[in-house]
Amino acid sequence: MPTVIAIVEDDPDQRENYSDVLKSHGYEVRTYADRPSAEAGFARELPNLALLDIMLGEDMDGGFDLCMQLRNMSPTLPIIFLTARDSDADRISSQRMTAWDYITKPVSLEFLVARVHALLKISDQLQSAPTASTTVSVGALELNEDSMLVRWKGQSVSLTLTEFWIIESLTRNPGHVRTYDALSDVTRQGLVERNTINGYIRRIRNKFRELDESFDRIQTVHGTGYKWEQGSA
């Protein structure tokens, strides 16, 4: 059974470009230009992964509405937001709707394919009950790379794919500094400004602090990058 990817994007050029590259990687692609057509399509056939733009023509938050519908239809469907909007408010909204990833334009198609690939793999893993063997523990932190699951002191932390990759990179060598360049590579978005990395770190910290106010494991090494402080535990 082919893997179906739904693309909802109002701009035909971008839509076709995504479609082309994904098709050439062997995926079945359904493209929709607006919310009504996408809703109709989803009703007919639930995709394996959805790639959503937030703004759909005049419909300012059309992508969010679609996301909510999809989530109702399937709790484990990987959803990627691919948008020009780069505000914290939008990111938080997407997170609340349990989107798996949030990528800002312009996106590198190469990395887009990589993300789609990764998310589908994780989705598969989730469906076939995660194996404990792939779980890595770093102090109070538990990471399961296959299912993108992160636990801090036993509590699950909801991270996007990019954020998961950053945490994964930081904790690979606790106590060692990850430079901005290294972290930029990890985000798989092409050239990433320091400020963007700072933004990711800030959001990750906030998520951990929601669970644990005294969370301070991610430390800034100004001018260089960040490191995961192992701590005494």
Partner 1 sequence: MNASVDRASAQNSRQATASRTSRPVRRGLKIRTKLLLLVSFLLVIPWMGYESVREMEKFLLEGQEQALELTTQGISSILGNRSDLFDPGVGVPELVGSSTGNPLKTLEEPLAIDAPAGVWAQAIGELSSFTGVGLYECGADYRPDLLAVRHAMALNADMLFAYFEIDDDRVVLRDPGLLSLDSNDQIRLTIQRGSGEVSRYLLTTQEPGRISVYLMKPNWREVVNGEALRDIVGTLEPGEGGYAVKIRIPREFLGTGARLKFEVVDVDDEASRAIRQIISTEPDPFRFEFGSVRLATPELAKLIQPLYVAEANITVWDAFFRVRAQVGSVFPPVREAFGRAPQKRSFLTQIEDRFLEFFEWILRSPQRGVKDMPVDSSREDRRLLSRVIAEGNSITERRRYGEAKLIVTASPIWAAGNMEGAVLVKQSANKLLSLQYRTLQRFTLLFLGVFIFLGIAILVFATRLTYRVGKLQRETEQAATPEGRLLKNRIRAGSRSSDELGSLTRSISALLQNLGQYTQYLEKLPDTLAHELHNPLNVVNSSLENLQYNHAELSEDKHLQRARNGVGRLRSIITSLTEAASLKEALTREQVQSETFDLALLVRNCVEGYQAAHPGYRIVPNFSEAPVLILGVPDRIAQMLDKLIDNAIQFGSENGLIIVNLRRDAEFIELSVLNDGPSLPDDIADRLFDPMVSSTKDARKTHLGLGLYIVRLVAESHRGTVRAENRRGSRGVEVTVALPVEIRRRG
Note the residues at the interface with partner 1 (CB under 8 A). 11, 13-14, 17-18, 20-21, 24, 84-87, 104-110, 191, 193-196, 198, 202, 220-224
Residue 50 vs 201, nearer CB to partner 1: 201
Least distance from partner 1 to the Cβ atom of residue 102, Å: 14
Least distance from partner 1 to the Cβ atom of residue 73, Å: 28
Least distance from partner 1 to the Cβ atom of residue 134, Å: 31
Residue 23 vs 96, nearer CB to partner 1: 23
**Residue 214: CA atoms inside 13 Å, Cβ hemisphere, count?**
2
Residue 23 vs 68, nearer CB to partner 1: 23
Residue 73 vs 221, nearer CB to partner 1: 221
How many CB atoms lie under 10 A from the CB of residue 93? 19
Nearest C-alpha neighbor of 8 from the set 28, 29, 23: 29
Q: Who's near 143: CB < 8 A, 6+ residues apart?
A: 135, 136, 137, 149, 150, 167, 168, 171
Least distance from partner 1 to the Cβ atom of residue 86, Å: 6
Residue 122 vs 170, nearer CB to partner 1: 170
Least distance from partner 1 to the Cβ atom of residue 23, Å: 11
Nearest C-alpha neighbor of 174 from the set 221, 215, 214, 138: 138
Nearest C-alpha neighbor of 64 from the set 86, 90, 41, 87: 90
Least distance from partner 1 to the Cβ atom of residue 138, Å: 24
What is the maximum alpha-carbon separation in the chain? 55
Determine contact, residues 148/161, Cβ cutoff 8 Å: yes
Residue 83 vs 123, nearer CB to partner 1: 83
Determine contact, residues 50/8, Cβ cutoff 8 Å: yes
The distance from CA 121 to its chain's CA centroid, rounded to whole angstroms, is: 13
